[in-house]
Structure 1
Amino acid sequence: MPEQVTPSPSLMELTATTDFYSWDDEYSWEDGMLPELCEKLAVQGFARIYQPAVYLLLSLLGVAGNGLVLLTHICYRQAHSITDVCLLHLALSDFLLLLTLPFTITDMLLGWSLNTATCKALQGLYALNFYSGFLFLTCISVDRYVAIVRVPAACRLRPRARRHGWLTVGLAWLLATLLALPQFIYSQAEQHQDLYLCRVIFPHAVSREARGATNLVQVVLGFAVPFLVMVTCYAAVARTLLAARGARPHRALRVLLALVLVFVTLQLPHSLMVLLDTAELLASWEVSCTQSRRKDLALLVTGGLAYLRCCLNPLLYAFLGQRFRQELWLLASNARCVGPLEARCPGCPSPRRQTSLSTCQDVV
């Protein structure tokens, strides 16, 4: 009779490497799901090298890029639209999410050395920033549609854009907090043999359904909804820009195309793998050891690509814009500016006069 695989996660055990993937830490194979003893030492060895190297690199790049976006907003920018406010909070969300990766690396390699309260906080913050980032992307797409396609409505809303922007991000953070409640509630530091591990552990009676629902919510809100909104809104924006004259509409079209292509390229592969993992979990499919290894490797690699999107968001949504390039240049020229420009850096030139919006369609 084939030996069953224990669901307890450990780097030295024969277990599915999805336990190492930070979003799916709570997922492990249940009794009887694997029809054979499946040795995954090769996959575990790859994970021990791949994840720390990739996560550390992405953390450094992403924190630096998103940090620059935050600095330019704090030093130079006033909110002229909902997009300005959402860009600020998107950078903050990605910044905080990438800061959790070093803890994931430490947990994977050395075990969890902190208490359960810290485990709950970090798992919850990860989920909170994961969901809020996609909600901000969705809000940006809708606001760009209103600003370009619905110009009269945008002009009417513009005097109250700052207030509407803060209301929008407030609702987005609230919804993300509600979605992250399972991580805040059910995360705990669990001892297994000589290691403490930080995991999300649902009650046994609802564990499979709860884990499946968490995966489905991740796919729906992490890819399907933002993708549909982006395609719908940016397609309408593209039609409007193509009807305009001059070189700038075509530059804006290239930016919009880059936004959609990068989002699909980096997020779609991982969303498909998570969806496949969810189908196997809920349907209790029997998979061969070879198939299980391939799926684990795919989750590892595509998970790294999904994190790369957080590093590219500053380039796509900020640095490609003319205003951000000007502000970044001024930031480099006035490195001592660490707060509101007029209050803390009175000698610095202000880009607000140079980059003030003259129309309701200044979007990219």
Structure 2
Amino acid sequence: MSDGVNATALHDGVNTSSLYDRVNAYYDYSGYYDGVENATTPCDNANLVNFSQLFLPTLYSLVFVLGFIGNGLVLCVLMKHRNQTNLTDMCLFNLALADLIFVLTLPFYSHFSVVGEWTFGDFMCHFASGTHNTGFFSSIFFMVAMTLDRYMVIMHAHKVARYRTMRSGIALTVVVWMLSFCISLPDIIFTKVVNESTRLTCEYSPENDYWRTYNTFTINVLGLVFPLLVMIVCYSRIIPILMKMKSAKKHRVAKLILLIVIAFFLFWVPYNISLFLWFLMSKGLLSNGCSIGANLRLSITVTETLAYTHCCLNPIIYAFVGQKFMKRAVLLLRKYVPVVLLPSNRGLSDSSYRKSSVVSRSTEVNAIM
């Protein structure tokens, strides 16, 4: 097995270490020696390895920088105005925190893809895999929570107002983080440092095929199908109600909703389709020739990075499009980064956009969007 193969395979998935075991099957030459598929030589993956070693570190670094800045700014703004926090702000804070935790693991995998060896030890192998997956699922679940919150506020404004308290937000936060951690627990347990030939790799080594199927289920069903269905069902009912409201912002809010769904679909569906096709190939339901395998691996590598960039867009989609949040962000940047060319402070104080406490559908729409 040539150098760099495992380095590339380790990075081809939402759960980088978990997907290693699935994609690494492509580099298992036992079929060649056993005469399977009438193979005469092992698959030549040199071009794919070289491409991944250049492509992954570059894109991972870009996602890390943009995701760190964007989500870090969201956290700073919300922390500065924590006394005015509501349930929506708590969800937004945790979404940014989940995305930040997610991108903080990328430098480890970027380094691995360049060096070709895991140099951070067994603890960091477990830790990186666990935080990577926990951050990923937490980000998905908090997007779902924000969708359901918007649905309840708009469809049942007067009934749910008294339940949207700080205590409810804290309870929701604990439940989501614990759920995400529990889902990621098998990856934390089974991911470990393995001595592969002359170098160390951080691999997902489950005890049986059940856990491989489990990973496929969690990534595709909990990571894509479930949140996408929730968004489509909830927002398809919200938009008609918005159109009936006497609000000048209803068209802007409707466009924002469509942007949320379309962005999630475009960024995640190609990646999950690639993973699912690889799963079918690993089960022998698709041809596993060298050409098909190489194309699928290339597809996974490219669509993976595209999917990861969604965490860079979350601050823009969920935070910066809101006028209140944008004003707060501008004020914060002007205070701590005076060299940045930003609009004047005039009219940007919190008092200029404080809203009445009267609960109605239109005011709630402005508050949560």
SS in 2 for 1:334: helix
Aligned counterpart in structure 1 of residue 126 of structure 2, from 120, 123, 129: 120
Q: 1:99 aligns with which of 104, 108, 111?
A: 104
Supply the distance in 2 between the matched residues of 1:109 and 1:17 (Cα, whole angstroms): 9
Q: Secondary structure at the match of 1:196?
A: strand
Structure 1 position 20 matched with structure 2 position 20:
no
1:353 shift after superposition: 7.2
Question: SS of the counterpart of 1:26?
Answer: helix
Question: SS of the counterpart of 2:12?
Answer: coil
1:164 to 159, 163, 168: 168
Alignment of 1:96-245 (within 5 A): 96-110=101-115, 111-158=117-164, 161-203=165-207, 206=208, 208-245=209-246
Alignment of 1:330-345 (within 5 A): 330-335=331-336
Q: Distance in 1 between matches of 2:356 and 2:216?
A: 42
| TM alignment of 1:205-354, pairs within 5 A | 206=208, 208-283=209-284, 285-335=286-336, 351=350, 354=353
Q: Cα deviations across residues 300-328 of structure 1 (Å, max 9, x unaligned)?
A: 01001110100000000000011111111
The one-letter amino acid paired with 2:144 is T
User: 1:218, 1:352 → 2: CA distance?
Assistant: 44
RMSD of equivalent CA atoms:
2.2
Q: What is the aligned residue count?
A: 339
CA contact (8 A) 1:79 1:162 kept: no
Establish whether residue 87 from structure 1 lines up as the match of residue 92 from structure 2.
yes
The 1-side partners of 2:285 and 2:353 are apart by 61
Give the distance between the partners of 1:16 and 1:39, measured in 2 at CA.
16
Matched residue of 2:192: which SS? strand
CA contact (8 A) 2:102 2:131 kept: yes
Q: Greater CA deviation, 80-89 or 302-311?
A: 80-89
**Structure 2: distance between partners of 1:183 and 1:356:** 45
Aligned mates of 2:97, 2:156 — CA distance in 1: 29
> What is the deviation of 1:357?
5.7
Q: 1:44-95: per-residue Cα shift (whole Å, max 9, x none)?
A: 1110111010000110001000000000000124465422111100100100
Q: Which amino acid aligns with 2:324?
A: R
Residues 237/81 of structure 1: CA separation in 2 closer, same or farther (3 Å cut): farther
Q: Is the aligned partner of 1:55 residue 2:56?
A: no
Report the secondary structure of 1:45's partner residue.
helix
Q: Cα distance 1:316–1:178, how it changes in 2: closer, same or farther (>3 A)?
A: same
2:4–2:113 contact (8 Å) kept in structure 1: no
Cα deviation, 1:282-311, whole Å, max 9, x if unaligned, reads 346441111111000000010011101000
Aligned-partner Cα distance in 2 for 1:144–1:73: 19
> Residue type matched to 1:178 in 2?
C
Q: Return the letter of the residue paired with 2:368.
A: V
Question: Are 1:76 and 1:352, in contact at CA under 8 Å, matched by a contact in 2?
Answer: no
CA distance in 1, matches of 2:11, 2:3: 8
**Residues of 2 paired with 1:127 and 1:227: CA distance?**
19
Any idea what SS the aligned residue of 1:250 has? helix
**244-253 or 319-328, larger mean C-alpha shift:** 244-253
Secondary structure (helix, strand or coil) at the match of 2:21 reads coil
CA separation of 1:277 and 1:79: change in aligned 2, threshold 3 A: farther
CA contact (8 A) 1:212 1:281 kept: no
- Is contact 2:11-2:20 (8 Å) kept? yes
- Asked if 1 retains the 8 angstrom alpha-carbon contact of 2:8 and 2:113, the reply is no
Aligned with 1:287: secondary structure?
coil
CA shift in 2, pair 1:199/1:263, >3 Å: same
The residue type paired with residue 181 of structure 1 is: L
Q: Does 1:39 align with 2:44?
A: yes
Question: What is the deviation of 1:20?
Answer: 3.2
Contact 1:40/1:293 (<8 A) preserved? yes
SS at match of 2:202: strand
State the one-letter code of the partner of 2:195: Q
Could you tell me how far apart the structure 2 residues matched to 1:360 and 1:134 are? 23
Structure 2 unaligned residues grouped into runs of 5+: 338-347, 358-362
SS class of match (2:350): coil
Q: Distance in 2 between matches of 1:299 and 1:241?
A: 38
User: Does the 8 Å contact 1:17/1:44 carry over to 2?
Assistant: yes
Deviation of 1:237 after TM superposition, in Å, equals 1.2
Please report how far the alpha carbon of residue 350 of structure 1 lies from its aligned counterpart in structure 2 after TM superposition: 6.2
Q: Does 2:80 align with 1:75?
A: yes
Given that 2:61 and 2:107 are in contact with CA atoms closer than 8 Å, whether structure 1 keeps it comes out as yes
The change in CA–CA distance for 1:217 and 1:132 in structure 2 (over 3 A counts) is: same
Contact 2:191 2:202 in 1 (8 A): yes
Match of 1:64 in 2: 69
Offset of residue 272 of structure 1:
0.8
Letter in 1 for 2:216: N
1:21 is paired with a residue whose SS is coil
* Superposed displacement of residue 149, structure 1: 1.4
Residue 341 of structure 1 corresponds to none
The one-letter code matched in structure 1 to 2:201 is L
Q: Which moved more, 1:79-88 or 1:66-75?
A: 79-88
SS in 1 for 2:364: coil
